[in-house]
Amino acid sequence: MPVCIPSAVAAPSSLYDPQRVSFTVKVKDALNPYEVLGIYVMPDETIELECVFTDSRSSFTVTAQAGKLEQHAKERWEWQAPHEQGMYPLTVNDTTTNSTMTLNVFVMVPFSHHSEKLNGYRIGRYQPKPFKNNPVYNRPQGFVEVTLNNRDVPVSPHFTLGQFLGKQTSEYPKYLLVRERLLLKLEMILEALNHEGIATSTLHIMSGFRTPFYNHSIGNRTTYSRHLYGDAADIFVDVNEDNYMDDLNQDGKSTIADAVVLRDIVEKRARETWYQPFVGGLGIYGPKPHRGPFVHVDVRGFKARWMKP
């Protein structure tokens, strides 16, 4: 099922701009209405782009800096990625309104799983058999290479590639996974927060991607954590940038109650029909001596709920 974001709502603060365009592009399993989105492909992979929910008067062009681009219909194109890893932007332009969307396509570095390292970066071991034979737990075919030059590249209007890097210590290049569906869900959550009166321009991502190596090193024994697959994020609101959850319930302190506020806003959207493609985990974590409270979200494809005080 393609991922669709609902129509925009007015934001209550100049802190936030959803950065939508006048059209939507269907790419892979996502329907993207935003000015920018990161897309992740393997070398030589072919993807289809289609402009949908368009005005009948609109006319579109697509441009590519590399790879092979072919138009197959008035509003549908196919693009074959280059063989070499790297970032290759695709630009979709509505020539009638001069509205432009940029798809920052990352060609990933293949990984065979015969080794526990990729170009010296420790990956560790993924489970060879997917959990309950669910294909969302298949071992990844490759990883996005992150460098000092591309870590600040936007992968959605309010998030950059480097925000999803794991915390393990190493020199660049580093490697990660991040899924388009997670990026769209985070943008949806951000828009929902602003609609509910919590004015913020982004979310603090406390933990995004983790390698199996790092996940084990911090004592996490969950071998099928969604963080390993690039579609999970531990998040909190941090407008004052003190690395702690803001006081969302306005009781004068940062507690698990603030994580509940964030959770409830997400859960409210989860009851809507359009939310179905975003179904996944939603967990609440209370504060610890070394960190504040936070909320875990993922897009595993089935519902999971938990709370850890």
CA distance 169 to 211: 12
CATH of the domain at 214: 3.30.1380.10
| Average confidence (pLDDT) over 214-239 | 96
Q: Within a domain: residue 164?
A: yes
CA distance 294 to 166: 17
Q: Within a domain: residue 13?
A: no
Q: Within a domain: residue 109?
A: yes
Q: Within a domain: residue 11?
A: no
pLDDT at 6: 56
What pTM, to 2 d.p., does this model score?
0.94
Residue 71 has pLDDT above 90, yes or no: yes
Q: Within a domain: residue 10?
A: no
Structure tokens at 173: 């290049």
| Residues facing residue 160 across a β-bridge | 154
Confidence of residue 2 (pLDDT cuts 50, 70, 90): low
Q: Which domain covers residue 254, as residue numbers?
A: 20-308
Structure tokens at 296: 């875990």
Q: Within a domain: residue 5?
A: no
Residue-wise pLDDT for 17-49, tens only, equals: 999 999 999 999 899 999 999 999 999 999 999
Segment 96-101 long-range contacts (CB within 8 Å, at least 24 positions apart): 96/55, 96/57, 96/58, 96/59, 97/22, 97/58, 99/21, 99/22, 99/23, 100/21, 100/35, 101/21, 101/23, 101/25, 101/32, 101/34, 101/35, 101/36, 101/37
Contact 51, 25 (CB under 8 A): yes
Q: Within a domain: residue 135?
A: yes
CA distance 174 to 72: 37
pLDDT at 57: 87
Burial 101-125 (b: 16+ CB within 10 A, else e): bbbbbbbbbebeeeeeebeebbbbe
If one counts the domains in the chain, the total is: 1
Q: Within a domain: residue 3?
A: no
